[in-house]
Structure 1
Amino acid sequence: MIIGNGLIANSLKNIDSGDMLFFASGVSNSLETRSSEFEREFTLLKNTFKNNSDDSKLIYFSTLSINDQSKQSSHYVLHKKEIENYIQENSENYLILRIGNIVGKGGNPNTLFNYLKAQISSSNKFSLHIKARRLLIDIDDIALFLDTNCSQLKNKTINFAYPYYYDLKEIINAIQLKMDKKANYDEVNEGDFYKVDFDENTNNFFSKTTSEDYMKILTEKYI
């Protein structure tokens, strides 16, 4: 069963199963501050627990931003932590996936890939923080990972993204190459990133793909 109708929810349709309860409905904007939006997700999750009489495995989609020390006081990260704690305390069979920067068709226009694609396409000038690094994940890999690994992962929290820290120039250069259009940006000596520990499940899943190949896959599919 899939709860939600956004980018992640739609990507799971081919692996939907009566044994799995995919909770893919929630606050998608990491800059959200309205308490009503967070309360809506929490209420839906609690109601889902009450109605889950068949004890299906619960799969919840959290965020790698939980590892970002600069965002520990943000409404979004505090909310995700609260949700994770609730699941860990109330579910006997769950899997929490902390997701990196999703790359896919459609979805939130403010995601990194969508933003850069739009700026380059429209010839808009933007600032490039040269110290920034980002962890990316192809939306299709979420479903593929769950399809091949979910059954043997019980009561775990997994950091899930391609385990390589892309700098923004790498991403922009790949998009420029695919679009055959030059980006217009000013370099700013700013930016940061946070370290994430990836377990053997994530590392093994991506072990046959180099960082260069993964970026090429992303641009070929989504640019």
Structure 2
Amino acid sequence: MIIGKGLIALQFLDCDNDKIIFFASGVSNSSETDKNQFLREENLIRETLKAHPHKLFIYFSTCSIYDSSKYNSAYVLHKLQMEEIIKEFATHYLILRISNAVGKGGNPNLLLNYLARSIKDNKVLTIHKNATRNLIDVEDIKNIVLKYIESDIHNKIINVAYTDNFKIPDIITAFQDILNIKANISIEDLGEHYSIDVHELNYKFPITDKKKYLYNLIKKYYL
């Protein structure tokens, strides 16, 4: 059973079966503050767990909990609360904390979607020079999730992210190089770096060179 129609949910259409719930219908905008949106997700989670208490419940949470600038945000606090509900009421679960997913389409507020649109529209981008973000291909997300399912590993919280973060200015440079467009940017000496522990993943990314991985993402999804 797949709950959701967004970027991540679509990756699992060919994996759909009656023993697993892929719950990918949650709040995806990290700037969200609307309590009704949070309540909608909570109610749907509770209803789904009640109706299917013995199925493997796979929930896509967020790595934003490691970002000090977002830790106390309504979005992060909500996601942590959803994790606790799942841990309490699901017999079998996998909670996957995802970094910044990159793929074709999806929410326009996703980081690379926003940057690509702004650069193409020649909008001014205010860039924090020291800020970093972790980007991961949705195909890698899918492969990681399937690996855990096949391994029959349950009742864990797993960080699903690339092996390193990317500086925002480096992401802008990659877009400029590949799209052959000069970005309209304003740089501020601000921003923070935060690390995501992925030592448990035991996953071999198809591209291990950091710069090549970044450039491949942009060529793959934004050309």
Q: Distance in 1 between the 2:187 and 2:36 partners?
A: 38
Aligned residue runs from structure 1 range 66-77, under 5 A:
66-77=65-76
Q: Check if 1:125 corresponds to 2:124.
A: yes
Q: Distance in 1 between the 2:197 and 2:161 partners?
A: 11
Q: Can you list the C-alpha shifts for 1:140-187, whole angstroms capped at 9, x where unaligned? A: 222121122323221111111112110012211111111111112121
Q: Check if 1:111 corresponds to 2:110.
A: yes
Q: Distance in 1 between the 2:71 and 2:204 partners?
A: 29
**Which residue of 2 is the match for residue 45 of structure 1?**
45
Q: Distance in 1 between the 2:204 and 2:107 partners?
A: 26
Contact 1:176–1:182 (CA<8 Å) still a contact in 2?
yes
Q: Distance in 1 between the 2:68 and 2:206 partners?
A: 28
Q: Distance in 2 between the 1:121 and 1:71 partners?
A: 28
Q: Check if 1:134 corresponds to 2:130.
A: no
Q: Distance in 1 between the 2:100 and 2:129 partners?
A: 18
Q: Distance in 2 between the 1:186 and 1:37 partners?
A: 33
Q: Distance in 2 between the 1:124 and 1:86 partners?
A: 41
Structure 2 counterpart of 1:143, which letter? K
CA-based RMSD: 1.5
User: Any idea what SS the aligned residue of 1:60 has?
Assistant: strand
In structure 2, list runs of 5 or more residues that go unmatched.
none
Contact 1:15–1:143 (CA<8 Å) still a contact in 2?
no
Structure 1 position 207, deviation (Å) = 7.2
User: Any idea what SS the aligned residue of 1:205 has?
Assistant: coil
Structure 1 counterpart of 2:21, which letter? L
Contact 2:161–2:196 (CA<8 Å) still a contact in 1?
no
1:150/1:199 CA distance change after superposition, 3 Å = farther
| Structure ranking higher in helix proportion | 1
**Which residue of 2 is the match for residue 91 of structure 1?**
90
Q: Distance in 2 between the 1:191 and 1:18 partners?
A: 44
**Which residue of 1 is the match for residue 197 of structure 2?**
197
**Which residue of 1 is the match for residue 208 of structure 2?**
209
Structure 1 position 8, deviation (Å) = 1.3
Structure 1 position 209, deviation (Å) = 2.0
Structure 1 position 208, deviation (Å) = 5.4
In structure 1, list runs of 5 or more residues that go unmatched.
none
State the identity as a percent.
44
Q: Distance in 2 between the 1:182 and 1:167 partners?
A: 18
Q: Check if 1:33 corresponds to 2:33.
A: yes
Q: Distance in 2 between the 1:199 and 1:49 partners?
A: 30
Q: Distance in 1 between the 2:183 and 2:70 partners?
A: 29
**Which residue of 2 is the match for residue 221 of structure 1?**
220
